[in-house]
Copies of this chain bind each other. A is one copy, B any other.
């Protein structure tokens, strides 16, 4: 297989854009990617488009990519429409990478696009709820209800029937349960989760594409409304709209287009699996494969974008990436290691919490940030001398495991 380079990337600002269509958002991201690549629409040979919820939000299923790309003036080429929940567009990028790595095509476009806002916000949360096994959720909700009734209610945490999928994404309940487990097992504190949010909101304040650009104190974070204990609103990624795009070519052709290509060192996608308790989880498995593929380890990384759909997730992913031993994610955030100016800044874009999380757009938007960082184009949030970056993007849930987990490693 051939080595592959990213020669262009673009993205819209993330936010609430009820008056902008997927076509409109995607046009902007694709045009920026093409401009950055110094190439044009007619040169594209294949396009892979990631989207998660258009079917449920706009009614557009099946040929989402073609509908949008023909409108932009891109046609004829193979168009792959792919879904993998929050990892939809890292999956799209992975396929675009493979089209080029295989030798089949020389210029590939990867797109992530999402309109998650709906006039009726319950529709947005319901749509996110399709990222799990919908049959299983129905069964679990029924079982939880029966158990509560049998136990006379008792002390309890918010459950599916009380807002999940209606007033908030049901994923926040998963994350909250996960966070409580980490606190109990390792002594991690709510303040430590809060510090992740402080950091990412600070980073987002430096990013013109971020949905939220406010700086918050730890008190602000902890005192914001509780979503599901211990998560507060400012620790959670918001609903959002946006698009991102990247252009990929063979590494040995990259300098024909760009004086500063960004090389793909690893592209890994895995799914959850049944496993013994001592076997590595989904993220560790993907990360291990990616380090092997790149011939690099955590000590080589200069900048990371990871899937902080909620603040506790970031701490756990530190551990899964091997940035610290298991259980010590809390200490790592306390140390300032992952803040801009620290040894290994994480989520310099603001992450999902602050930059926003239009779910199908997130994967390529993470790659956009690494592309900008490695090229030295990240402005106020630039990591000086960044040469190697990693993205980690998880999507959906089946049987308690991530349904899809992708890791990419890039270098100059």
Interface residues, chain A, CB within 8 Å of chain B? Answer: 1, 21, 52-53, 55-56, 58-64, 66-67, 69-71, 73, 75-85, 88, 91, 94-95, 98-99, 101-104, 127, 130-136, 269-274, 285, 395-399, 401, 403-404
User: Are A61 and B130 CB-contacts (below 8 A) given A66-B271, A272-B75, A272-B76?
Assistant: yes
Q: How many angstroms from the CA of A342 to the CA of B52 in the assembled complex?
A: 46
Cβ of A332 to closest chain B Cβ, rounded Å: 28
Contact assessment for A63 and B404 in the assembled complex, using a CB-CB cutoff below 8 Å = yes
Cβ of A349 to closest chain B Cβ, rounded Å: 23
Q: How many angstroms from the CA of A69 to the CA of B84 in the assembled complex?
A: 14
Contact assessment for A95 and B67 in the assembled complex, using a CB-CB cutoff below 8 Å = no
Contacts of A399 in B (CB 8 A): 70
9 A-B pairs within 8 Å (CB atoms) are namely A55-B55, A55-B56, A58-B134, A60-B133, A62-B84, A62-B396, A63-B397, A98-B99, A102-B103
- How many protomers of this protein does the assembly include? 2
Contacts of A81 in B (CB 8 A): 82-84
Selected from B61, B79, B80, B285, the residue in CB contact (under 8 A) with A55 is: B61
Q: How many angstroms from the CA of A157 to the CA of B261 in the assembled complex?
A: 56
Contacts of A52 in B (CB 8 A): 61-62
Contacts of A63 in B (CB 8 A): 83-85, 131-133, 395-398, 403-404
User: Are A272 and B95 CB-contacts (below 8 A) given A59-B130, A404-B79?
Assistant: no
Closest B residue to A67 by CB, please name it.
Answer: B133
Contact assessment for A83 and B98 in the assembled complex, using a CB-CB cutoff below 8 Å = no
Contact assessment for B104 and A60 in the assembled complex, using a CB-CB cutoff below 8 Å = no
Contact assessment for B272 and A70 in the assembled complex, using a CB-CB cutoff below 8 Å = yes
Closest B residue to A102 by CB, please name it.
Answer: B102
